[in-house]
Amino acid sequence: MAVTAPAPLATRERTKRRRRLRDIAVGWSFILPNFAGFALLTLVPMAGAFVLAFMEWDSFTPPEWVGLDNFERMLGDPTFWIALGNTAYYAIGHIPLTMAASLGLALLLNRRLRGLGFFRTAMFFPYVTSLVAVAVVWNMLFNPTAGPINQALEFFGVADPPGWTSSSAWAMPAVIITSVWRDMGYYMVLYLTGLQAIPTEYHEAAEVDGANAWQRFWNVTIPSLRPTTFFVLVMITISSFKVFDLIVVMTDGGPGRATTVLSQLIYRQGIIENRFGYSSAIALVLFVIVLAFTAAQFTLQKRKEL
Amino acid sequence: MKRTITAAAATVALAGLVLTGCSGQAAPAEEEGPVTLTVSVWNYDQTPEFKALFEAFEAENPDITIEPVDILADDYAEKLTTMLSGGDTTDVLTMKNVTDYSRYANRGQLLDVTDTVNAMDTDKIAGLDPYQVDDVYYAVPYRQDFWLLYYNKGLFDAAGLDYPDHITWDEYADLAAKLTDDAANPKVYGSYQHTWRSVTQATAAAQTDGDLLSGDYGFMDDQYELFLGLQQSGSALDYATAKSQQISYRTMFETGQAAMMPMGSWYIAGIKAAIDGGTSTVDWGVAPLPQVESGEDTVTFGSPTAFAINTKSAHQAAAKKFLEFAAGEEGAKAIAAIGVVPAYGSDAVAEAFTALPTDDLSVTTFNEPKTVALEMPVSENTSDISTILDEEHDLIMVGEASVGDGIGAMDDRVTSEVLG
């Protein structure tokens, strides 16, 4: 049995480096299909849009550099401020309500229960239902004169029930209620997985120590759920600021401008009015807002972990 | 070596770009033999006028085959804009409205067809004026819709009322009150005003000489008061319900839930199709749009639809032939036969228009001389002003702004946000 002589140091170095390179190449080849698609279809257009924000372009004539004109115009555009306010309104309503509703559902359905699978599926259903169908049905429920919601309110003695989507004051709450209903099933699933990852020993230990159900929820469940809560919060925040489809099919921004949101304004100014520069500038502002909120959430989360 | 090839390839590519860029401008030589002409259309299956026109044209020009480029009606303007900015070569472009037309024309995307238009019998083509841009025509209208009053003869007969022959808006309101039947199930409303702002705003502009682009909208006052009064008294379905439930005006009229309804002439073909198809049994007629004062000539509003030619078209001679046919008498007869109102008017065309009820009032309504104002005037601000007028219309009609406040908001916003 021949003993192989140890390879000279240089060769060994080279093999090591080659192996490392190969590992890197293999790694890249795994993410390449996804990354190439992302770069081509998202990153490049996004970078293009950032540049466009400082230009004027109608998609026919060559773009023209206008510096900060688009942003100046934004400052003086009342519709932009209304849309910004409406977007914030939607986010402030949608984020906490959806989190509370989905956590509540998850707690409710995280126990042994007859027909558990059915209830979990039922709660997830709104999320996979066509949004247009959702909007039509909720609009019927919200019908100011003959809708079941207002009939129920009248039955319970509300003399002057709200006009919902036909009233400036109630259109946004109506949209928020619909969106919470639609999204809660999805986030419930996330919370369920989070709940099931909590070791039962924690609860048992707390019980032995004499903690009641509320104390266990507050001191065991909530802290253990923190990673899930953080993830859910970031996802809902981003989706809230980007809300578009539900508003378009339910109210189309109306009545008047009562539910016009930023993403709708981006669409209107860009695709309909062919002001791609101005539209990109609004998109840039929306991007910065979402980025700032997400970054703030990450920072807070890190601080809590320390 | 390698570098030379790359450079050569780049040169060829660049030359190709430059050449294609130029070829759009120069008129290509007319080719021999069969030609396939592409025409942009919307909802081809539900818009029978296109098929009728194309078939009539092909029958007369066996050498030319027409291939529709079908686009969803709701996205038509955006889709066409995107196509054109991408250098699309579709030969004939249907101009859905005059505002979009003026955008394309001003951007140099449409071929000058002044010669073709001048060779036609222009006196007989209604709605031609808006297409003239600096003495040049870039399109020619083939249909001209105008607004009239649809009414349900059965409901009038049951109430023992005379048909609405050249009535005023005040008489309209009286009739609406008398025709409303709360006891019926579903309730019968004396009138139905659809949610579009034109029902109020374009009517007022046409009949009081108002200008929808002016930033001064006091002329809409009476029309708003009238329509709001109708919905408050229950003689019309309220706007909030109609809008939030996305009520179809066709359902309101075809199921007998509305006795009178101002609507565009395109609906004539729609009712006919519904009755032929057995989905409606409504006994209907048309009358002139109600007026402010009685005894005057009928003033209404409407908008033409036109065909234009893409500057990048490779079949410009054939495309011109199509324009001439579609906007002329033969094309007019082909679309009149299916109940669509052509821009070209003549006795032969009127005779081909068989979808109309045959009673005297309907026939008079159709053939009497009338002033048809353009639904929305054209300027570079049309689209922005239109958005504002839509938003404030919404607030007035749901009752959140009084007529005075709503009109004041229109004045302020159009003046400061658009004109200022």
A261 φ/ψ angles, rounded to the nearest 5 degrees:
-115, 170
Cα distance from B88 to chain A (closest Cα, Å)?
A: 12
Q: What does the pLDDT read at residue A84?
A: 96
Interface test with B, best of A60, A151, A267 (most B CBs within 10 A): A60
Dump pLDDT digits (tens) for B251-308. Answer: 999 999 999 999 999 999 889 888 988 888 999 999 999 999 988 889 999 999 999 9
Share of chain B above pLDDT 90, in %: 64
Residue B337: other Cβ atoms inside 10 A? 16
Which residue of chain B comes nearest to A170, CA vs CA?
B400
Residue B3 pLDDT? 44
| B129-144 pLDDT tens trace | 889 888 899 999 999 9
CB contact under 8 A, B394 and A274: no
pLDDT score recorded for residue B255: 93
Q: Provide residues of B within 8 Å CB-CB of chain A.
A: 77-78, 81-82, 84-85, 103, 107, 109, 238-241, 243-246, 383-384, 387, 391-392, 394-395, 398, 400-401, 413, 417
Taking 80 as the threshold, does the pLDDT of residue B219 lie above it?
yes
pLDDT recorded at residue A59: 80
Q: Cβ of A144 and B241 within 8 Å?
A: yes
Q: Do A273 and B384 touch (CB under 8 A)?
A: yes
Q: Give the residue-averaged pLDDT of A72-77.
A: 92
Pick A143's closest partner by Cβ from B103, B244, B417. Answer: B244
Lowest mean pLDDT among A109-123, A272-286, B50-64, B300-314: A109-123
Residue-level pLDDT at A259: 94
Give the integer Cα–Cα distance in Å for B105 and B110. Answer: 5
pLDDT single digits (tens) A1-52: 455 555 567 778 888 888 899 999 998 899 999 999 999 999 999 999 999 9
Query: What pLDDT does B10 receive?
Result: 44
Contact between B212 and B414 (Cβ < 8 Å): no
pLDDT over threshold 50, residue B15: no
Which has more pLDDT, B48 or B58?
A: B58
pTM: 0.84
Query: Chain B: nearest CA to A166, how far in angstroms?
Result: 5
CB contact under 8 A, B394 and A142: no
Residues of chain A contacting residue B240, judged by C-beta atoms under 8 Å apart = 144-145, 163, 166-167
Q: What is the pLDDT of residue B324?
A: 93
The verdict on domain A70-305 having CATH code 1.10.3720.10 is yes
CB B287 within 8 A of CB B165: yes
* Distance in angstroms (rounded) separating the CA atoms of residues B366 and B144: 12
Of the candidates B295, B288, B283, which has an alpha carbon nearest to the alpha carbon of residue B262? B288
Confidence tier at B190 by pLDDT (50, 70, 90): very high
Cα distance from A168 to chain B (closest Cα, Å)?
Answer: 8
Q: With an 8 Å Cβ cutoff, are A168 and B84 in contact?
A: no
Amino acid making up residue B325? F
Chain A residues with CB under 8 Å of B246 CB are 136, 139
Closest CA to A86 of A212, A225, A262: A262
Place B24 in a pLDDT band, splitting at 50, 70 and 90.
very low
Take residue A41 and report the two structure tokens written for it: 């279809």
Q: Do domains B32-145+303-363 and B146-301+374-419 have the same CATH topology?
A: yes
Pick from A78, A144, A163: which is nearest to B417 by CB? Answer: A78
The arithmetic mean of pLDDT across residues B76-86, rounded, is 90
ipTM of model over 0.85: no
Residue B6 has pLDDT above 60, yes or no: no
Q: Given B85, B383, B392, which is nearest A273 (Cβ)?
A: B383
Q: Please report the pLDDT score of residue A121 as a whole number.
A: 86
Exposed/middle/buried for residue A208 (C-beta within 10 Å: 0-12, 13-18, 19+)? exposed
Which candidate in B231, B244, B388 is best for mutational testing of the A interface (most A CBs within 10 A)? B244
Determine whether the interchain pair A77/B417 forms a contact, defined as Cβ–Cβ distance below 8 Å: yes
Structure tokens at B52: 């009728």
Among residues B266, B265, B270, B258, the alpha carbon closest in space to that of B288 is found at B265
Question: What is the pLDDT at residue B31?
Answer: 54
| pLDDT for the residue numbered B11 | 42
Average pLDDT of the residues in A231-252 = 93
Interface test with A, best of B99, B382, B398 (most A CBs within 10 A): B398
**pLDDT higher than 80, residue A295:** yes
Over residues B373-383, the mean pLDDT reads: 89
Mean pLDDT over the full length of chain A: 89
pLDDT, one tens digit per residue, over B304-347 is 999 999 999 999 999 999 999 999 999 999 999 888 999 998 88
Neighbours of B177 (CB within 10 A): 15
Chain A partners of B401 at a C-beta cutoff of 8 Å? 256
Q: Is the pLDDT of residue A180 over 50?
A: yes
Which residue type occupies B334? A
CA distance B376 to B388: 13
| pLDDT over 70 at B30, yes or no | no
* Per-residue CA distances from B253 to A168, B150, B247, B262, B303 (Å): 29, 8, 11, 11, 22
| C-beta atoms of A256 and B391 within 8 A | yes
Rg (C-alpha) for chain A, rounded Å, is: 26
Whether B238 and A145 lie within 8 Å, measured CB to CB: yes
A199/chain B closest Cα distance in angstroms = 49
CATH number at B32-145+303-363: 3.40.190.10
Question: Looking at residue B225, what is its pLDDT?
Answer: 96
Identify all chain B residues contacting A144, using CB atoms and an 8 Å cutoff: 240-241, 244
Collapse the DSSP code of B336 into the 3-class scheme (helix H, G, I; strand E, B; otherwise coil) and give the result: helix
Mean pLDDT estimate for chain B: 88
pLDDT tens string A119-154: 888 888 888 889 989 998 999 999 888 889 989 998
Q: What is the mean pLDDT of residues B25-41?
A: 71
Q: Does domain B146-301+374-419 have CATH number 1.10.340.30?
A: no
pLDDT at B32: 60
pLDDT at B216 exceeding the cut of 50: yes
Q: What percent of chain A has pLDDT over 90?
A: 55
Residues 6+ apart with CB under 8 A from A226: A301, A304
pLDDT of A158 > 80? The answer is yes
CB of A265 closer than 8 Å to CB of A83: yes
Question: B33 or B125: which carries more pLDDT confidence?
Answer: B125
Tokens representing residue B18 in the block: 């430059």
Q: DSSP string of A71-116? A: HHHHHT-HHHHHHHHHHHHHHHHHHHHHHHHHHHHHHHTSS--TTH
Note the pLDDT of residue A306. Answer: 61
Structural domain boundaries of chain B? 32-145+303-363, 146-301+374-419
pLDDT above 50 (res B20): no
**B70: three-class secondary structure by DSSP:** strand
Test B244 with A142 for CB contact under 8 angstroms: yes
CB-based contact A144 B81, cutoff 8 Å: no
Residue in B109, B395, B413 closest to A255 by CB:
B395
- Using CA atoms, how far apart are residues B258 and B150, in angstroms rounded to an integer? 10
* Average pLDDT of span A293-304: 89
Quote the pLDDT of residue B8: 45
